[in-house]
Structure 1
């Protein structure tokens, strides 16, 4: 892409959108998204392509580079004194230097981990003078932020990922742009009124460009770093101009739909109702932007930011346009995952036609707390049972309608204090159990970058759960200038083993799911639950059943000692006297290689032993 793009109507954009088979061959969608293992990374925080002592795609050691691998002696090497600690903290609030080329260089690391789909945080051009390293403050929807690389780098990344059997999802935003204009009022908050605007910011952050189609003769330096692009988004009517959502307004309609997401400017997408919906010019322009990126880079799906704040009408319109366009290119199952906070996640999936909801809120919280023994396991498993309001005949509906993950970059459910799973509550000793629960229960599982290296994210706010895998000035574990692409890390190795088993067993990807009763004496059975004060130190067992096969999964919530329990299994699949065989154990020499199915009061039971904080699978 050599010609700078200013408009969706340009020949550069329209000629790409017009691409179609058979003149262009596009990468096909997977057969089923529930078969995939996703991996979410923020491009600024993953790799700067300067590491050494890691393995390339072929598994060969890379000796070049300037950043050495992290070792235990490097823990807290960035915070040895108050001044250094302040510099480390400050570094975490700004761009630290991750690149798309860095992601390309680590595809071998990801493939060997068992990742089959990359979810890449927003890479489109942000406001150049602001440190929106997370990527959610877009200023130009038809360009890549130069801090991450170029459009050609994106093409190269997608092509290289596809070569390794890895799909690619891009994180996109429709609800808002970056902080591209200034109000006349000082720090206005939502009242229902429309506020006057001083103007678009110029490249020096002075709001002297009138809101409206930019006159580049009068403002010759407006492109590319001033105002908003493409030019179809420059009309005043493209923005709601209602001021920031108030602290108590995140669930109040229409405030949460029309207000600004902090200082990010809300884009006018249209009436939230899907009935008789008419798309606004802004929504139509954004649809063409995202059609362009599908055809340009051959990506496989989108994760849509802040869907709750878009409304069902705009979301349904976008989903229809993108799905139809992707199918036109031969991508019949182009994935649209919506970030939907609050209680309407599953209803929104049904109403809008997006494919899945990001499992934040109750799903993520329970997935976090169950392995730590902080809540009854039924509280997590019941989220996937038949619900009358869903009118679903089988809870397997959830197998491809929710993306589940332990850690992420926002942790909305945790409120004001943030920290990764490994930051508290015996997290480092229980992270294997948590990842097993994530990989082997219903949904499309996703690993947040660094979880496979047991990052702790200690610090309390968003920036601390966004450590740099490549080290730089803001590395994990309060370190700097040390990278974490360590395939000898025991957690990494266990995740790779779990992912391999998942890829081999269809029941673990598509099967029905049942939380199993347990017993200490083989006679008295019940679901594991808190008696007295948490935590539970027990076995949590569940079965995945598919086409006459059962895989029994069990994790231990005791971080220090192995635990044993009698567990019920399906008597039709495993009658008394039959044998089930060990598929996987996180510590293989500590558990029986096979167990005999016994009978008690007409039910089939087996005794399982699980390593401390570990996992076993039997079939």
Structure 2
């Protein structure tokens, strides 16, 4: 009896240590460019064990931290074929338990996948506010916040199935790339719909659907020659993240100790005269109290984020990243992260949010920047967001009696500084996004001003980005009514909505007017390489009329934007350089033939897109 009790005790003791709660990445792929893989095993006091692997698996390193619940095992994956490999965990020479780990086969051509570029038009959605395709997943028993569509800052139930259901709408509109705000689990008690305070970065939030649903979205988009862009967050996680609740190392996050808020002054990153305390509170300070700041200078953190990003690209078959708060990261760490991804996928694209109001400081963060080179810094980041153009677009079309530096000259001057950028075609140009006031709110639902805005965004150089609902005239004012007001539900995305703006018959007259204009211009742009990669020739605005040309060896397009309430007549001899001897053209927005031999009349508050013949 005593012997039986002893054997039972040994078995029970071993089984208590046999619990592995998490393995991350949960699996990997063979034939990756990155030769080493660091696997994190997590479980109660797991570091009390030693780890071994099959003889064909080379363990490069086993790292145990001050938290006994973690072991980080680095293996050499180069030349390892696909299959299952068993890791054994033993204690004091006695085998305790085992864990199988799978290397999968990569998709053919995975490494040379092509990311988004200036031939694309990107559409930004907040999935919780776009369409509810599966009402059964609006709330989840394991997650705190439940659906409440009556609450502007609550969860409304939009999900991945809702996006999939409306891909035909996006394709018909002329969209070729979709950027969704984050979809990974966010277990915040409130405002979790924005999903930037993630609590698990290997799983889609079940209120949006499943990991398989995300793969399905990518597959359905690829059938339509559309690209899927993931909103990736390197700077912070949510306070509810399971690793934040049980930190692998004290310095996994920035501590002061504990919480201190960022001062948000990103200019301290490249200020040669900065104080260390100001720089530290920018880079190390938390974005908000519920978003602990990740320490990318910790190699464990950096490698975890790198592998997680690559895992999602490979798993979901992604076409790009938009990286949140890019310039708040440790700049050397984020440069390594970016380079590792671009080394794995040389034709991929990543656009970083660098929300600054100075072109030199925005340029600093783009790959091969002449500004960054002054400080011997290269972020390796292919694309940045053109916030200075956005700044101009928010005011310029209300400036009808311009002075020296107001009116259309603000747009002209924005492009004067193109020499600051390493790649002007890889700038994301936009009128608004989920953090800014809606352009139709700013311009008080003036359709003519919307047309001026979108003409510029869709015909200048760079990658145009639209914010969901702008194309049907949606409005919002965050200063007066909070963020929820600029993130309203897309009409028709929920059963019982008053109208369905996803369909022509469901749109009201005003919505259709916005939509028809946007659709015409987007679909024209889709087929015009000259608007993708052609050169830009601009002329100083006269009488608040801005004229520019996009041109290449084969085509020329003339764009005229009249910001006056009154009609204007242009003497075309001034634009001879752009016209290049051509005297006729087709005006795309109206479909009319245009004579360009002497003068050109343009109505007040209107634009013309003329394909030169």
Provide the TM-score with structure 2 as the length reference.
0.70
Equivalences for 1:180-329 in 2 at 5 Å?
A: 180=240, 227-228=242-243, 234-242=248-256, 243-245=259-261, 252-271=278-297, 280-326=299-345
Match of 2:32 in 1: none
Any conservation in 1 of the 2:546–2:561 contact (CA below 8 Å)?
yes
Is 2:329 aligned against 1:341? no
Q: Distance in 2 between matches of 1:352 and 1:378?
A: 31
Is 2:138 aligned against 1:112? no
Any conservation in 2 of the 1:40–1:447 contact (CA below 8 Å)?
yes
* Aligned partner of residue 93 in structure 1, secondary structure: coil
Q: Which of 113, 127, 140 is 2:200 aligned to?
A: 140
- 1:113 and 1:562, CA in 2 relative to 1: closer, same or farther beyond 3 A? farther
Report the alpha carbon displacement of residue 28 of structure 1 after superposing the two structures with TM. 5.7
* 1:58-80 Cα shifts (integer Å, max 9, x gaps): xxxxxxx9xxxxxxxxxxxxxxx
* Aligned partner of residue 364 in structure 2, secondary structure: helix
Match of 2:600 in 1: 607
Equivalences for 1:162-561 in 2 at 5 Å?
A: 162-180=222-240, 227-228=242-243, 234-242=248-256, 243-245=259-261, 252-271=278-297, 280-326=299-345, 332-342=346-356, 343=358, 344-349=361-366, 350=369, 351-360=378-387, 362-373=388-399, 375-386=406-417, 397-400=423-426, 402-411=427-436, 418-424=437-443, 427-458=446-477, 460=479, 461-470=482-491, 482-487=499-504, 489-517=512-540, 527-528=541-542, 538-547=544-553, 549-558=555-564
Q: Distance in 2 between matches of 1:88 and 1:230?
A: 27
Report the alpha carbon displacement of residue 582 of structure 1 after superposing the two structures with TM. 1.3
Equivalent pairs, count: 476
* Aligned partner of residue 254 in structure 1, secondary structure: helix
Report the alpha carbon displacement of residue 283 of structure 1 after superposing the two structures with TM. 1.5
Match of 1:55 in 2: none
Any conservation in 1 of the 2:130–2:162 contact (CA below 8 Å)?
yes
Q: Distance in 1 between matches of 2:521 and 2:194?
A: 30
* 1:140-164 Cα shifts (integer Å, max 9, x gaps): 0111001111001001000000001
- 1:297 and 1:384, CA in 2 relative to 1: closer, same or farther beyond 3 A? same
Any conservation in 1 of the 2:570–2:601 contact (CA below 8 Å)?
yes
Match of 1:535 in 2: none
Report the alpha carbon displacement of residue 447 of structure 1 after superposing the two structures with TM. 0.5
Any conservation in 2 of the 1:45–1:470 contact (CA below 8 Å)?
no
* Aligned partner of residue 547 in structure 2, secondary structure: strand
Q: Which of 123, 126, 129 is 1:45 aligned to?
A: 129
* Aligned partner of residue 177 in structure 1, secondary structure: coil
> CA-atom RMSD, angstroms?
3.3
Any conservation in 1 of the 2:116–2:177 contact (CA below 8 Å)?
no
* Aligned partner of residue 168 in structure 2, secondary structure: helix
Q: Distance in 2 between matches of 1:613 and 1:128?
A: 46
Any conservation in 1 of the 2:25–2:307 contact (CA below 8 Å)?
no
Report the alpha carbon displacement of residue 17 of structure 1 after superposing the two structures with TM. 9.4
Any conservation in 1 of the 2:549–2:559 contact (CA below 8 Å)?
yes
Stretch moving more, 284-293 or 542-551: 542-551
Provide the TM-score with structure 1 as the length reference.
0.70
Q: Which has the higher contact order (CA 8 A, sep 6+)?
A: 1
Report the alpha carbon displacement of residue 235 of structure 1 after superposing the two structures with TM. 3.1
Q: Can you give the 5+ residue segments of structure 2 that lack an aligned partner in the other structure?
A: 1-19, 30-38, 40-81, 83-100, 137-146, 268-277, 370-377, 401-405
